[in-house]
Amino acid sequence: MRRLTFLIYTMGWLAFPPALPARAKELNKTKELSALDVASRLQKFYDSTADFQAAFQQEYESRALSKKSVSSGYVYVKKPGKMRWDYLAPHPKHFVADGKSLYIYDPELEQVIRDRDFASSDLTVALTFLWGKGKLTDEFAIAFGKLPPPSAAQIVLELTPKKAARFKRLLFVVDKASFRVDGTLVEDPGGNTNRITFSKISVNRGLKDEAFVLDIPKGIEVIEVPKDNKTP
């Protein structure tokens, strides 16, 4: 699986929406906010988020093959730098980052791919705002997206990388009231898109570090990713 796209998935950090009266007030306020204002409030939201868990649905569309694939599962994230994506359908697969290394476990192939340099990679550094260490405005040019939001209670932000990157653009679907990210869309230079939508959201539950340790079964092949040849 494309390593960069997986990193971008981690941008879908979420939280419970506020009560309805407060939500109505915030919706009115967003009419006067600029794209940078929205990004600033989004940044503030994630700076104050220690951990989260959610269900997700992923839709990957290949432009060249005119083919779409759909998968789903659960995601868990904890600062600093820990995350776990458990794909359940259509086939089980697990992505686990323990803060230092990234493990990709495919039970059907009976193998684990281990990237020991994951935490220090340039791709990870570009997304450190997820763990309260970086700023979106330092890494991306930010504007309102041209695509319509899924609902009137949401805003679409378009983020274009300021430096050379392996993706063309990133879209955030942002809740107007809480400034959480309800979904992401990544488009690569070839026009292929990867969309993630979240549900069943829970934040600051005190997730244990043990949840981000991959217990590799006996007999499973472990493949190391060379430091000079990262998987895109």
Local confidence band at 2 (pLDDT 50, 70, 90 cut-offs): very low
Task: Assess if residue 229 is contained within a domain.
Answer: no
Task: Assess if residue 230 is contained within a domain.
Answer: no
**Is pLDDT of 39 > 50?**
yes
- The dihedral over CA atoms of 2, 119, 107, 214, expressed in degrees to the nearest 10, equals -160
**Is pLDDT of 27 > 90?**
no
Residue 132 is predicted with a pLDDT of 56
Task: Assess if residue 76 is contained within a domain.
Answer: yes
Say which CATH number the domain at 98 has: 2.50.20.10
Task: Assess if residue 97 is contained within a domain.
Answer: yes
Local confidence band at 19 (pLDDT 50, 70, 90 cut-offs): very low
| pLDDT, tens digit (0-9, with 9 covering 90-100), for 48-107 | 889 988 999 999 999 888 899 999 999 998 988 888 999 999 999 999 999 889 999 999
| pLDDT, tens digit (0-9, with 9 covering 90-100), for 128-143 | 555 556 688 888 899 9
**What is the mean pLDDT of the segment spanning 196-208?**
89
Local confidence band at 121 (pLDDT 50, 70, 90 cut-offs): low
Task: Assess if residue 206 is contained within a domain.
Answer: yes
Structural domain boundaries, residue 187: 3-224
Task: Assess if residue 231 is contained within a domain.
Answer: no
DSSP string, the chain: --HHHHHHHTT--------HHHHHHHHHHGGG--HHHHHHHHHHHHHT--EEEEEEEEEEEETTTTEEEEEEEEEEEETTTEEEEEEEESS-EEEEEESS-EEEEETTTTEEEEETTGGGSHHHHTTGGGGTS--HHHHEEEEE-SSPPSSTTEEEEEEEESS--S-SEEEEEEETTT--EEEEEEE-TTS-EEEEEEEEEEE-----GGGG---PPTT-EEEEPPTTS---
Task: Assess if residue 232 is contained within a domain.
Answer: no
**Is pLDDT of 228 > 70?**
no
Tell me the average pLDDT of the chain: 80
Residue 110 is predicted with a pLDDT of 95
Of 54-63, 121-130, 161-170, highest mean pLDDT? 54-63
Q: How many domains does the chain have?
A: 1
